[in-house]
Structure 1
């Protein structure tokens, strides 16, 4: 990569490709957005114009929120050049990093990577934005698998900070380090993930969404109340504490016994504790109160950690308008 302003090519002008192009243009990178699908010239021009209009609209939205000066919108748009499929072989040799963002159809991925592999220069990093296919499967379609890895962005890509980065068996460690550094420079929060179905977030959220649907199916609560509970109870806590951090905070033993109750009460083995929870119980690694859990708390200032965490909760609740104001106090009695 040529410094902080690597030239980026995005192959695929759908929702994800548009979002990634915007992210890099916003960060000042030159970007080539390529509509890979074979279309008539008027149709391709329409698709690319719609992509341009969407990016401009998103940037104006950010400006309306005070996140940027509206006068910066058009200069940022100037970082993006749009191309139809016929221009791919001309454009890709200039790119330092190529992001594939075509539909999740294996045959489409294969044909796209064959063209990318033939056109991209040998030193370019190539990344798929797939949410479905393992990196080592896709690597068989690329000319230089050592320069290839998966980068799973979450929609909307221009807002969600997280990018799950999954290197393959052949990925050069320097390519991985370069991608992580590039994503951090543009303000993203990358996490490294082994090749596994569902990466991290989709795998967790699939379970949560299916369980929410079951609650409706079983008549436990209305969709409105389930969503209210998930936003205000589930979402707020896990915006501050990670899932494993939350286990350690409350105690792995609490989860272990809750799992056993739910497994028996609902006659559903999906609530059975994984072996790592049972193993932590057996070894006394029950979390913060034990000094060890998924994290090591033995050398941490627990009072400062707890206060810092609770402050984050209060700040978030206050921002969302969910932190109740205190009642007025007269002579030790609350005025209501």
Structure 2
């Protein structure tokens, strides 16, 4: 059972992780492991404490937290300078490394963590760029090591991408994903591949948005608006591959090849697996198989449930189209 955890690094990510677990009822120790003067460390830790208090207070002000619980949640987070690291890590069941994306800095952090952490405790990086097998070289007992990539702001974004290494024990993956779920997160497990899932897709989308702004396709404001009310709404309900199955992967085949030719850019060409799926009769929902298997599914019920989610989300965002003026007047008359 994981009851106490320590975070090496008191920056933005460390503070976000502290918020998440304290909010969920766990004790969290935030440790400033950089070699600073006592005065400078005290300043940093005071800033960390103030930020955690601010984000917890924000949840309270938004009606997501009972004011009576605020002080209890904040009391679950403790703040420690480097001089107290030994005692903190010695009493932890799980340690997160949350230091800057510099290999030497991470190596020092893992050396400190592993020197004091119990042998059966889990060690997790939070790297957004480095591969877990590279970092595992710095960890004593690589079978207990894996990566948990949080998306900022960590206290709000549900997703955590969990990436085990070649030596990671399956039980460690299970324990961490269960903990994340207990804290209200939505973990997914992915291979140790550059960019994991979201950063890899996000990088492609961001680069294309920049190109469109540079080319004058649309203003930055309209590009962002299109993403928020189109791309964002759609993919909050249907995943990318799920959406392909709805329309048919042959549409991507046509659209990708057309855009590649029209824009003179190979990056739009669909991957070969799309042609293979079409040839095998796995174009998506209408053929019973695509990336998902629909053969034993009540497709009509699934479609209705998905559309209901769209309606709920669009309505929540205040974007659901109203009926015409005449129909609104008719509805008023029926109610009176």
Relative to the length of structure 1, the TM-score reads: 0.96
Is 1:269 aligned to residue 251 of structure 2?
no
> Which of the numbers 152, 156, 161 marks the counterpart of 1:155?
152
**1:250 match:** 247
Which 5+ residue runs of structure 2 have no aligned equivalent? Answer: 332-336
Match of 1:173 among 170, 174, 182: 170
Distance in 2, Cα, partners of 1:118 & 1:47: 24
Partner residue in 1 for 2:334: none
Find 1:49's aligned residue among 28, 46, 51. Answer: 46
1:92 pairs with 2:125: no
Q: Distance in 2 between matches of 1:101 and 1:243?
A: 30
Residue 224 of structure 2 corresponds to residue 224 of structure 1: no
Q: What residue is the counterpart of 1:237 in the other structure?
A: 234
CA shift digits 1:40-70 (9 cap, x unpaired): 1111111111111111111111011111111
Equivalent of residue 8 in structure 2, options 11, 33, 38: 11
**Structure 1 segments (4+ residues) deviating >2 Å:** none
What does 1:1-336 correspond to in 2, within 5 Å? 1-2=1-2, 6-329=3-326
Which stretch of structure 1 is more off in the superposition, 232-241 or 65-74?
65-74
**Cα distance in 2, alignment partners of residues 71 and 35 from structure 1:** 29
> 2:193 is paired with a residue of what secondary structure?
coil
Which string of whole-angstrom CA distances, capped at 9 and with x for unpartnered residues, describes residues 95-150 of structure 1?
A: 00000000000000011111111111101000000001100000000111111000
TM superposition shift of 1:333? 10
State the superposition RMSD in angstroms: 1.4
> Quick one: distance in 1 between partners of 2:248 and 2:312?
24
Deviation at 1:328, TM superposition (A): 3.7
Report the Cα distance in structure 2 between the residues aligned to 1:297 and 1:208, rounded to whole angstroms.
Answer: 29
TM-score when normalising by structure 2: 0.96
Q: CA deviation at 1:281?
A: 1.2
Aligned length: 330
